Structure 1
Amino acid sequence: MNIYDVSKHAGVSIATVSRVLNGNPNVSEKTRNKVLNVMAELGYTPNVFARGLGLNTMQTIGIMCSDSSDPYLANAIYYLERALRSFEYDAILCCTGYDLDAKQKYFNLLRSKRVDAIILAGSKFVEMRPKDNSYLIEAAKDLPLMLVNGYLEGENIYSTLCDDHAAMHHAATGLLKSGRRRILYLYTSYSFSGVNKMEGYKDAHRDLGLPLDESLICQCDKDISVARDTLLGLHEQGLEFDAVITSDDSLAVGAVKYAHEAGISIPDQLSVIGYNNSLLSRCTDPEITSIDSKVEALCTTTINTLMGVFSGMNVPSRTTIASDLIKRQTTNF
């Protein structure tokens, strides 16, 4: 079954059928309905790829994320796809992992599908070495690249990000002003977002004229049990801390589990602040104070910016969104 069969059964030209498929307004409503009815009767499904060639758009956006099981990224994917559907765009999702070669492989796969743009969800796609980002900058000459909570400077590259530095600075400042002096910072990575969070933690101490103990900055895997065991190990080694602030809610859950196992009262003896305000922050007893990084707003803004690019509007290359600190029972300031 093809366009020629539809043309023959509807008694119209192939060009008319093509105009109906492409949404051309220069077709009468009567003719349009006639062609659509014949398509339904014949069970004809248009070739999306061929149609995309004719329209110079596939109405499809590629989305890349490193790990769709991560609560933050899972939410981001949901909000991105929801916003795209509202503009009648489809999405192709690739979960790349963290290896650069795999990222480049999936990126090229999406380009081969002739997607209209590619969205990079999360900050793990911006590499520390500039030369490792050259494939993104080169590709942006041909299609828009949208970064969700990551930043890369380049023509036709657009970033929407949470102000992670200000968010962490505000949270750490609140703890310090409440009298906490030994705030342990638990983090997962040195991504673009991760670096900004750590600098916010450090600058909060500097701006209040307080000493910064580097032994209180600890890295661990993004795993609840690992975070718990890491804190237990530090406690057993004699490291003293009266608060834990983390780069992700999963680590904050580990901190709550550590306190329970060590017999430490929250928040009287230990304050805990997580990051992302995910479902995890409400799954513990007590519930966790967490920084809301506004993932829904980030994703909605990203898609609105993309539609502006498609429409030829003058849109900002970088949009920054402020966070909120959602206070629950693991803090008392």
Structure 2
Amino acid sequence: MIEESIMNIYDISKKSNVSIATVSRVINGSQNVSAATRKKVLKVIEESGYKPNAFARGLGLDSMKTIGILCVNIEDYYFSEAIYHVVKSIHRNGYDSILIFTGDSLESKSKNMESLLSKRVDGIVLLGSSYVESDDKDNDYIRNAAKQVPIVMMNGYVDGENIFCCLSDDYQAMYDVTSALIEKQQSNLIYLYRNLNYSARQKQKGFEDALLAHQQEVRNYIQIPSGNVYDVKKALEELQAKGIPVGAILCADDEIAVGALKYAVTHNLKVPEDISIIGYNNSKLSICTNPEITSIDPNIIDLSSLSVKMLMDSINGDITPKKSLISAKLIKRGTTH
């Protein structure tokens, strides 16, 4: 018999030659499993001495009724709002939550993932696309954790069994907004971003593809790692000093858009007559300026509630889609026509 201490749901799925999701459905008594498969999985569980933890609710075993949440940075307006809605949804489902801030380093993310697993959580939510590493091998810590509990990535995508991804369609949103500006005869578009995480790459690709689709030159991406208002203003002033014209600024988040507006006001540029500015996330920052900032709304409330629903469905053994996509929408305000 395999030692209980080294058994997990991944081992059961491998030994039964079925998916982790199927094992979860068997454990939770779901009807979406054939009688033959159920019998096979239960036989493996019995022979191995496996005592389910993460998926034990359906058997009345030692489920902790707790969901772990990992977040890179609570200071970000987007993450702060996301945490509120995710925790609210978790509690509405009768679970408690443990929230850990990991920072950006891979070592810290991996270490804190292990910390949540040691607390015997029933599932984990990863908030934000910063959990998707550019080198896919570095995402193995997520795949390994998913061998023990279901993981939902909110606005990030990693392919792996027992990993479920709920995303805002950042690519299409940026493509549509860029296309609309070009079709209104707007020229000299630039894209400002702070990093190239999964979400930012989708936005940049949407920006690029829209330019190419309209036979526009693809140029002028400016990375501003801090995203700080004054650093954004300085970067745009450097662009101006080089004689590079700017007709519209598309920003990866609203804080960057505030910096772009500060640049415009400082240099007596009329907004939106001389320059258009579009932010992203539709955060409270977008209505704290004059004029108020046009911003793309990623529908964070729906994104949060659907992410938690996907996790709960997986825990309960229900059929869960691997990937769900939510449309973003443009909220027009005073920085665009």
TM normalised by structure 2 equals 0.81
2:127 to 117, 121, 130: 121
* Counterpart for residue 217 of structure 1: 221
1:309 to 314, 320, 328: 314
Identity within the alignment, %: 39
State the partner residue of 1:325: 330
Within 5 A, what are the aligned runs for 1:222-237? Answer: 222-237=227-242
Alignment of 1:37-76 (within 5 A): 55-76=61-82
Pairs within 5 Å for 1:85-234:
85-212=91-218, 214=219, 216-220=220-224, 221-234=226-239
Partner of residue 267, structure 1? 272
Deviation at 1:281, TM superposition (A): 0.6
> In 1, are the aligned partners of 2:89 and 2:308 still within 8 Å (CA)?
yes
More relative contact order, 1 or 2 (CA 8 Å, 6+ apart): 2
- AA at the equivalent of 2:222: C
What is the alpha-carbon distance in structure 2 between the residues aligned to residue 57 and residue 67 of structure 1? 29
Is 1:291 the counterpart of 2:267? The answer is no
Letter in 2 for 1:254: G
Secondary structure in 2 matching 1:264: coil
Partner secondary structure for residue 290 of structure 1:
strand
Q: Offset of 1:211 from its aligned partner?
A: 2.2
Asked if the contact 2:113–2:145 (Cα under 8 Å) also holds between the matched residues in 1, the reply is no
Q: Alignment partner of 1:55: what SS? A: coil
1:184 CA displacement:
1.1
Q: Any idea what the Cα deviations from partners look like across 1:127-159, whole Å, max 9, x if unmatched? A: 011111111111111100110000011110000
SS of residue paired to 2:160? coil
Superposed displacement of residue 307, structure 1: 1.4
Residues 159-206 of structure 1 show CA distances to partners (whole Å, capped at 9, x for unaligned) of 000111100001111111111110111011111111110000011111
- Three-state SS of the structure 1 residue aligned to 2:164 is strand
1:309–1:315 contact (8 Å) kept in structure 2 = yes
Q: Which amino acid aligns with 1:124?
A: S
Letter of the 2:76 partner, please give it: D
Q: Distance in 1 between matches of 2:118 and 2:143?
A: 17
Deviations 1:201-257 (Å, cap 9, x if unpaired)? 011111112222x2x111002212211121122112221111100000000000000
For the 8 Å contact 2:123–2:315, the answer to whether it is kept is no
Query: Which portions of structure 1, spanning 4 or more consecutive aligned residues, are displaced by more than 6 angstroms?
Result: 51-54
Could you list the runs of 5+ residues in structure 1 that have no partner in the other structure?
1-50
Q: Are 2:314 and 2:320, in contact at CA under 8 Å, matched by a contact in 1?
A: yes
Q: Structure 1: which amino acid aligns with 2:144?
A: E
* CA RMSD after TM alignment: 1.5
Aligned partner letter, 2:291? P
Alignment check: 8 A CA contact 1:168 1:201 kept: yes
Alpha-carbon distance between aligned partners in 1 of 2:74 and 2:122, rounded to the nearest angstrom: 22
Amino acid across the alignment from 2:182? L
For residue 25 of structure 1, what is the aligned residue in structure 2? none
Deviates more, 1:257-266 or 1:304-313: 304-313
Check whether the contact 2:296–2:330 (CA below 8 A) recurs between aligned residues: yes
Question: Which blocks of at least 5 consecutive residues in structure 2 are unaligned?
Answer: 1-55
Contact 1:232-1:262 at 8 Å conserved across structures: no
State the shift of 1:54 in Å: 7.1
CA distance in 1, matches of 2:79, 2:291: 25
**Secondary structure of 1:200's aligned partner:** helix
Residue 87 of structure 2 aligns with which residue? 81
What residue identity is the alignment partner of 1:187?
Y
Q: Which amino acid aligns with 1:320?
A: L
The answer as to whether partners of 2:277 and 2:335 remain within 8 angstroms in 1 is yes
* Distance in 2, Cα, partners of 1:196 & 1:302: 19
Q: What is the deviation of 1:55? A: 3.0
Alpha-carbon separation, structure 2, partners of 1:54 and 1:100: 36
Aligned 8 A contact 1:183 1:242 in 2: yes
